[in-house]
Structure 1
């Protein structure tokens, strides 16, 4: 296998475990509407789908009774004010990023999270200080699974896409990476509901340990 010279990561469910803060935002909105909260084990696998996926989960068939845009705004406002209360790095991510920095491998983040939230969240973690690029869901007209965001991130880092790794925990991550001719790795530690299903995403590799990524680096 050819070695690679740069790495791009998804954010939620790959670098950061943001599920509990997102779930708190969902349950805040549900409580305000007189509805029952969603248990942690039910909202965690949906966390990568953001406000839309979580609101659909929480409201279910009753979603059509409400103004979705108003619900989403309420969700995002609460989340913005409580964005890193329960959020933390996944195990071994700090060591992985430290090692990439030590061996001068440029790395960045490509997420579908809104840009304004991404730019609030990422600086709260000093481990991300050497992140070369941060491309969010609304940075460009396209978002994952379109390859444009990760190709744009490569351009910002001065990296060859065919020598770049893309790591994510959702089908849209792997599709985007594959469409950009990148080496794709499934972050099995993330928000994956069915481990067997992710075997069909056509990724180049699946790993439970972020440090395994280093074996693909030059």
Structure 2
């Protein structure tokens, strides 16, 4: 019996990829004089934002650059990221059905908190594991296993939902039912290199699968 659903965040629960790309582009332009494409930024994904900047920025003023990233992320969040009532409705309905819900994201806690507040998602989750909480980022399953432990569920009682190859690999390695979603206008993976247990294209499709007991 399925007791818990753990979600990735960027590109899965919120269309935050545009603000992530924008803030990284501003950082690398300002500090390294580089104009990075979204694909170049996407290639860096895995660690948290702070990890990405510390690893990839050539400029020695890394801590200043990190603060600049968060300033850009926060300043234009409301302009670049819309509240998705369909996603929020899904989360609310899962809670009403006594299904535990959690987040396992590579984002740092600081940017996740900014997004949750802006999107009116605060207080909806039973557990949140961020890039700050793990030693090994996705595709390593460390964070997902930690989330399952805190939720007090077995792997066969849980689903992990994400939009990237790293999400799928983490889910498969944790031996949970793994869903690749492409239900937002911006997501990371067009075709998954590792096949998830299922691919879902809309929130309605996901709700129907839950209702008829497919998941």
**TM class by smaller structure:** 0.7 to 0.9
Assess, with a 3 A threshold, how the Cα gap between structure 1 residues 153 and 107 changes in structure 2: closer, same or farther: same
What runs of 5+ residues in structure 1 fail to find an aligned partner?
A: 56-62
Assess, with a 3 A threshold, how the Cα gap between structure 1 residues 143 and 108 changes in structure 2: closer, same or farther: same
What runs of 5+ residues in structure 2 fail to find an aligned partner?
A: none
Match for residue 209 of structure 1 among 187, 202, 207: 202
2:181 matches 1:187: yes
Give me the CA root mean square deviation. Answer: 3.3
TM-score (norm 1): 0.76
Give the secondary structure class of the aligned counterpart of 2:93: helix
Match for residue 97 of structure 1 among 91, 95, 107: 91
Question: Given that residues 167 and 186 in structure 1 are in contact (C-alpha distance below 8 angstroms), is that contact kept between their aligned partners in structure 2?
Answer: yes
Count of residue pairs the alignment pairs up: 205
Question: Given that residues 103 and 129 in structure 2 are in contact (C-alpha distance below 8 angstroms), is that contact kept between their aligned partners in structure 1?
Answer: yes
Match for residue 173 of structure 1 among 161, 167, 171: 167
- How far, CA to CA, are the matches of 1:34 and 1:140 in structure 2? 28
Match for residue 133 of structure 1 among 110, 127, 132: 127
Shift of 1:22: 2.0
Shift of 1:47: 9.2
Shift of 1:203: 0.3
Partner of 2:20: 22
Assess, with a 3 A threshold, how the Cα gap between structure 1 residues 126 and 29 changes in structure 2: closer, same or farther: closer
- How far, CA to CA, are the matches of 1:212 and 1:48 in structure 2? 31
